[in-house]
Structure 1
Amino acid sequence: MARTGRPKAELLLSDEEREQLLRWTRHRKSSQALAQRSRIVLECADGGSNTVVADRLGVTRHTVGKWRARFLEHRLDGLADEDRPGRPATVTAGQVEDVVVATLESTPEYATHWSRSKMAEKSGLSASTIGRIWKAFGLKPHLEDGFKLSNDPFFVDKVYDIIGLYLNPPESAVVLSVDEKSQVQALSRSQPAFPMMPGMPEKRTHDYFRHGTTSLFAAMNVADGTVIASTHRRHRATEFRKFLTKIDREVPEDLDVHVVCDNYGTHKHPTVKTWLANHPRFHMHFTPTYSSWINQVERLFAEVTRDLLQRSDHRSVQALEKDLRDWVKAWNENPKPFIWTKTADQILESLGRLLNRINGAGH
């Protein structure tokens, strides 16, 4: 006779418990852990065995058994995270949910976001408790991040095109991520810096003198991380054409050149189009509008900003340009390619989730 395992205690739900569990699973901004536990209990209450429920929800049998037992012992309160040794918890699961939902779906009167003190006043909990709840759920109301969705009608096609170049580059070709870091300023501080000391960071004056600007043109080989670069005082189609000429000189003649760049006007100027027509091995791939994140050379510019420009002290444009050239030379001695891992489908799926969140905001 086949073994059926130890008999499980029957799990029955009251109407109120079932209603609360369903609310936790359907609430768009509930904790995903709490929603998962609620689904486990609902499936078990419908007669599912640990094995069947685990397979259906994509979790382990141990996880199903754990939350089945916790619910049987503590009912709804048992679905909260386990208590730690020490004083018994005085905050219920309902209070935690109220704080999370209020944080995500409302704002205080005459304010744009919640502070710990304002949420403590609203909820009746202490500010430190609010802080612990926010930390547990990864909520940081005081922070914000920026985004800009592309309005390019060919967004999907361009994403597939460029990601295809990154993940499956064509044979007998080089893929270059190209852009210009424009208006790089030669700045000198008004007073000498105080050097770093034990227990004290380096100190610099907030004011400075401007000595002019330059632009760093860069083409990064996405396969090996090497960089072709030049500096120009101006940022026009003429300078971009000169940079393409430099790329043409430095890339072996037997290779096609696929250039990934943005939609800046200088990249599509008649001067540049004429040059491209006379150099058929060059193939331009334009990123979607507002999508500089897809151009890998932006990561290179972040590196040069962090390493060189963030705390630079240059008293002439010539000195700044020399340091930029030296930085690129040092980079090429030990190049570091940025490995692209996400497929176009994964990127589009992530953007789809973002759009769903935006479209559902406030509802």
Structure 2
Amino acid sequence: MANAGVKGRPIAPLVLSSQERAYLERQVRRHRVARSLSERCRAILRCAVGLPSKSVAAELGIHEHTVGKWRRRFLKDRCDGLLDEARPGRPRTIDDDQVAEVIERTLRTTPPDATHWSIRSMAADTGFSHTTIRRMWTAFGLQPHRSQTFKLSSDPLFVDKVRDIVGLYLSPPNRAVVLSVDEKSQIQALDREQPVLPMMPGVPERRTHSYVRHGTTTLFAALDVASGFVIGKCYKRHRALEFLKFLKEIDAQIPEGLAVHIVMDNYATHKTPKIKAWLARRPHYHVHFTPTSASWINQIERWFAELTRKQIRRGVHTSVRQLEADIRTFIELHNNNPKPFKWTKSADQILASVKRFCHKAQQTLCGEL
């Protein structure tokens, strides 16, 4: 009973100066600091409140001995004691000049038998191991096997058109409907020469690479930007005559009293005299043409991508009629629960991004010259 009041070995109080507290709090708030250092600083701050190591460990989800270790290190060396000590290891065998040479060769040259370097071809050319080349490329963010495409619009009214269309997306006018309109032409009804083997556990779906064509169809579609509702119709051809029929289809489904803003590209069938005359007789129709080579700004292209991914790419159709039936079914199911695409970037953000890309491309070209 004499030992009933013993609470364990007393610990030295941990008192922080204002500069130390500010440093620790700053490390905890920083996003780019190592997680281990942030955790140590948080533990010291909690210990400074007067909490025992066991309580701090339970609060932070770490071991009690870990809290005690960094507490002792801090009491001995203060803030410097929280930093990792240098660890012994194998000395470097590759100096900075050799690394720079590999990076320069990756960026400025190509192998004689290929358009780009691979890890193993660079390793064979330089004499380093492929793991060493991998580490170098990873450190500098180099991926020679990857390639991306781009196309800049040469439209002289690019800025005005972007501001106009993005303004419609982000702030549509009152008592108006904004429709994104385009056609997806030459959709092929493809059948496989042999039956598709269904997916099984551990085995993906399998199909022959060869196919049989059964004709094509063209889908004209209009996406209501606000609701996500789609008006779509298939035609055998994609002339101005079919486009005029589709405009009449749109007109029949739009409630009276609403202005109609149509966003579409500069395809020739959209600008024939008959189309212009039909639109001129309906002053509540307003056409907004996208910049040339800027299909990304037309939201119906995003919906076409979903149609391709979900229905067309892996579909098997023995006739155009079957293909068109599947497309109509896809539209009906989509319209049962339509969801609009969320446009997030303003016109200023888009134009600033294009400006940065052009500036970077110009610097690259000047460097090559």
Whether these two folds match at TM > 0.5 is yes
1:197–1:246 distance in 2 versus 1, CA, 3 Å:
same
1:331 and 2:334 correspond: yes
| Deviation readout 1:293-338 (Å, 9 max, x if unpaired) | 1111111000000000011111111111111000000001111211
- More divergent stretch after superposition (192-201 vs 99-108): 99-108
Cα distance, 1:89 vs structure 2: 6.0
Q: Could you tell me which of 310, 313, 316 is aligned with 2:316?
A: 313
> Match for 1:344: what amino acid?
A
Matches within 5 A, 1:106-117: 106-117=109-120
- More divergent stretch after superposition (168-177 vs 124-133): 124-133
Residues of 1 paired with 2:310 and 2:210: CA distance? 20
Residues of 2 paired with 1:338 and 1:285: CA distance? 19
| Deviation readout 1:210-264 (Å, 9 max, x if unpaired) | 1111011110011111101111111011111111111111111111111111000
Aligned to 1:9: none
**RMSD of aligned residue pairs (Cα, Å):** 2.8
> Match for 1:320: what amino acid?
L
1:139 and 2:142 correspond: yes
Q: Could you tell me which of 243, 247, 264 is aligned with 2:267?
A: 264
Aligned to 2:191: 188
1:206–1:86 distance in 2 versus 1, CA, 3 Å:
farther
The 8 Å contact of residues 83 and 89 in structure 1, kept in 2 or not, is answered as: no
Partner of 2:203, secondary structure, is: coil
Structure 1: stretches of 5+ with no match in the other structure: 7-49, 51-58, 67-81
Q: Could you tell me which of 219, 226, 229 is aligned with 2:229?
A: 226
- More divergent stretch after superposition (252-261 vs 89-98): 89-98
1:208–1:62 distance in 2 versus 1, CA, 3 Å:
closer
Aligned to 1:54: none
Cα distance, 1:106 vs structure 2: 3.3
Matches within 5 A, 1:203-282: 203-282=206-285
Q: Could you tell me which of 343, 346, 366 is aligned with 1:343?
A: 346
Aligned to 1:301: 304
Cα distance, 1:356 vs structure 2: 1.8
Structure 2: stretches of 5+ with no match in the other structure: 1-16, 24-29, 38-84
Cα distance, 1:96 vs structure 2: 4.3
> Match for 2:121: what amino acid?
K
> Match for 1:194: what amino acid?
L
Cα distance, 1:282 vs structure 2: 0.9
Q: Could you tell me which of 147, 162, 166 is aligned with 1:159?
A: 162
Partner of 1:148, secondary structure, is: coil
Identity percentage over the alignment? Answer: 57
Residues of 1 paired with 2:272 and 2:146: CA distance? 40
TM-score by length of 2: 0.73
TM-score by length of 1: 0.74
> Match for 2:352: what amino acid?
E
Partner of 1:266, secondary structure, is: helix
Cα distance, 1:108 vs structure 2: 3.2
Q: How many residues align?
A: 294
Residues of 2 paired with 1:128 and 1:83: CA distance? 24
Which of 1 and 2 has greater Rg? 2
Matches within 5 A, 1:8-157: 91-92=94-95, 95-157=98-160
